[in-house]
Amino acid sequence: MKAEELLGQELSGSGPEHAIRCVFPERHIHDDRNKSASFNTDKGTYFCHGCGASGGIKWLAEEIGQPDVVREVLEDLGSLSDNGGPRVRRDRVESPAKDAAATPLPTADEIQAAIEKLQKHKKVLDWFIGKRGINADTLKQFDIGLSSTDERVTIPVRDFDGSLLNVRRYKPQPKDDEPKMLSIKGHGSPWRLYPAERLLGPFNGVLIVCAGELDALLAIQEGLPAITRTTGENSGWNSEAGKAALSVIAQLKLRRIAVIFDCDEAGRKGAKNAACALSSVVSEGTYNVDLDRSRNDGYDLTDYLIEKGAGKLSELIRTTELNPPARLTDNDVNLVTGSAA
């Protein structure tokens, strides 16, 4: 396959999304032996969770120094459609954002306007402080804004280099038929680690993996290193996005990770799966932290921090049983995908 020649490695598996080593190994620790990047044969796009490199076939070929192979690679990928495989759409080869079905990402000016609108909206600011514990400084630090069209809170999702990948839109009090969280059409997949920039600096202590963007922001505000995923609690870690995320976390060489999800059936199931998957990328183990075993009402990290504070949370983490590190095996697949209880 011409794409394999361009990438310098084999594309294994039957789906369109393939986990691969980054084609820019000099940007990684240990030359990216853990496969931080992904290549999509359907979209004709490349993305690296580690160094942030991303783009289409033309961009990739030029970056590697093989601009003459663009047509051959496109034709090769397009020919797969004749065999029932994926088809490369010519309007997608430059960048996923150029997909005719995708909504364009907002400009820097539009994001700034959303930030300014939120900072002037006393009712929503009061809600953030009173219900979520997040102050105005933290909101500004992470470019949190307010949509001009539907009054949803806007949460820009950026790559490690600061480039915009998506904007999550949160509804504080959704109606019964409304989703609480939305992504910009065409930019929600693959899911991302958020906030990515928090993975660039040195880590002291335990990294918290939690179940939502606002939970992560409050934890960070309280001095606790935290990240989340721009997907649901029970999304599997064995997807290409999951494998790439695990590879990025592995490069941090962390000793311990604390998984803290919501107190309900879905949250506890998702936390068990996450703790299992993340145990393969730490040296000492993972904590599966249950904030309150007596509750099953969605009590979450934000509720706990507002009620008891960061000190009590740190104490709870320390007293939670540490699950030893382990490499995932074939027997773990059902657990990590979320199909096991």
Q: Under a CB-based contact definition with an 8 Å cutoff, are residues 306 and 214 in contact? A: no
DSSP 253-274: --SEEEEE--BSHHHHHHHHHH
Last residue of a domain, one of 67, 98, 129: 98
Q: Are residues 121 and 205 in the same domain?
A: yes
In terms of Cα–Cα distance, which of 195, 107, 182 is closest to 151? 182
Q: How many residues does the chain have?
A: 341
Residue 181 has pLDDT above 80, yes or no: yes
Domain that holds residue 94: 2-98
Assign 310 a pLDDT band (cuts: 50, 70, 90).
Answer: very high
Residue 132 has pLDDT above 90, yes or no: yes
- Assess if residue 25 is contained within a domain: yes
Q: What was the pLDDT predicted at 101?
A: 67
- Assess if residue 103 is contained within a domain: no
Query: SS3 helix, strand, coil % of the chain, rounded to 5?
Result: 40, 15, 45
Q: Are residues 305 and 248 in the same domain?
A: yes
Q: Under a CB-based contact definition with an 8 Å cutoff, are residues 259 and 279 in contact? A: no
SS3 316: helix
- Assess if residue 306 is contained within a domain: yes
CB count, 10 Å around CB of 330? 6
Q: What was the pLDDT predicted at 100?
A: 46
For 187-196, how does the pLDDT look when each residue is reduced to its tens digit (9 = 90+)?
A: 888 889 999 9
Q: Are residues 77 and 117 in the same domain?
A: no
Q: Are residues 77 and 165 in the same domain?
A: no
Q: Under a CB-based contact definition with an 8 Å cutoff, are residues 228 and 191 in contact? A: no
Q: Are residues 29 and 115 in the same domain?
A: no
Q: How far apart are CA 155 and CA 214, in angstroms?
A: 9
Q: Under a CB-based contact definition with an 8 Å cutoff, are residues 170 and 152 in contact? A: yes
CATH, residue 315: 3.40.1360.10
Q: Under a CB-based contact definition with an 8 Å cutoff, are residues 58 and 70 in contact? A: yes
Give CA 276 to chain center in angstroms.
18
Strand bridging mode 145-146 / 153-158:
antiparallel
Last residue of a domain, one of 98, 123, 151: 98
Q: What was the pLDDT predicted at 258?
A: 97
Q: Taking residues 254-269, what's their average pLDDT?
A: 94
**Of the segments 2-16, 69-83, 100-114, 266-280, which one has the largest average pLDDT value?**
266-280
Question: Which residue stretches of 98-208 are H helix?
Answer: 108-120, 122-127, 136-141
Q: What was the pLDDT predicted at 306?
A: 97
- Work out whether the CA dihedral 303, 306, 310, 314 comes out positive or negative: negative
Q: Are residues 91 and 40 in the same domain?
A: yes
> How many distinct structural domains can be found in the chain?
2
